[in-house]
Amino acid sequence: MIASLVAGRTRGGLRRATPLANLLLLLALLAAVLASPGIFVKLGALLLVLGLAALSGGAPRTVLRRGRFVLGFSLFLLLIQVLSVREGGVLFSIGVPVTDRGLLAGAEMALRFLVIVLSSLLFITVTDPDRLARAILALGIPYRYGFTFVLALRFVPFFREEYRTVREAQRVRGVDRPIRSLKSLRRSIRYTVLPVLVAGLARVDTVAVSMKGRGFDLHAKRTITRRERWHPIDLAVVGLSLLLVAVTVLARERGWQ
């Protein structure tokens, strides 16, 4: 299984897998961090996400670059839990007592948050929305729902590029200031979030007009020009997903911490 993933690195790793196999792996990762007790399964899931990103060619750099804020927020969650949980044995004090249960609860929450966000970023990075649309249609799901899901994925890079454009325009105009207070936060929302939101709404309106002009939703069914074929890499990904689910079930039954 792992050998198949390694062999697929030169061909793109998870990029070569079918979208359904990648989606199954994503669901298995989410189930592992949400259903398993303790930190060992969650830590293993995080290492698995980073390892799969490394096997998928340019994915690790993209995932880690986008994950800087995620890492900072996970540390914030860890700190909040450490300072708020008072049960357990006291390890040391930093003005407030830091207990072993607080540290464990913080580590669990931080790992859960990291795996959920990074695995979702990895899925978006390695999955082609067009291939995902064909796979969803092949399952018999109405194409209206499939198109909605794919369109949401299409808007992720759009908002990212639009945010980058707005930030560059701010720097040119000299309004790029660090966020140090509530006033600066409101200013950032006003000059950053609102332009991005307006651009997004304009893009939605353009897409809606284009869909209407091309007769979208005119027929109850839609033909599929190309069908996804499963390869050995897909079997490896499905096997890895099932193994992860089995480990999660075993961890819950035995109460692994």
Counting the structural domains of the chain, the total is: 2
d(CA 224, CA 210): 20
Residue 218 lies in a domain: no
Fill in the DSSP letter of residue 79.
Answer: H
Evaluate whether 133 touches 150 at the Cβ level (below 8 Å).
Answer: yes
Residue 223 lies in a domain: no
- Please indicate, yes or no, whether residues 145 and 114 belong to a single structural domain of this protein: no
Number of residues assigned to the chain: 257
- Please indicate, yes or no, whether residues 38 and 164 belong to a single structural domain of this protein: no
More confident residue, 126 or 3: 126
Q: Which secondary structure element, helix H or strand E, spans residue 97, and what is its range?
A: strand 97-99
- Please indicate, yes or no, whether residues 81 and 151 belong to a single structural domain of this protein: no
Residue 31 lies in a domain: yes
Q: Which domain holds residue 238?
A: 2-127+228-254
**Local confidence band at 28 (pLDDT 50, 70, 90 cut-offs):** very high
Please tell me the predicted confidence (pLDDT) of residue 29. 92
**Mean pLDDT (whole number) for 118-130:** 83
More confident residue, 173 or 223: 173
pLDDT in tens, 48-57: 888 888 777 6
d(CA 51, CA 56): 9
- Please indicate, yes or no, whether residues 16 and 110 belong to a single structural domain of this protein: yes
Residue 190 lies in a domain: yes
- Please indicate, yes or no, whether residues 203 and 157 belong to a single structural domain of this protein: yes
Half-sphere exposure of 123 (CA within 13 A, CB side): 22
Evaluate whether 115 touches 42 at the Cβ level (below 8 Å).
Answer: yes
Among the residue ranges 35-44, 111-120, 216-225, the one predicted with the least confidence is: 216-225
Please tell me the predicted confidence (pLDDT) of residue 224. 64
Residue 220 lies in a domain: no
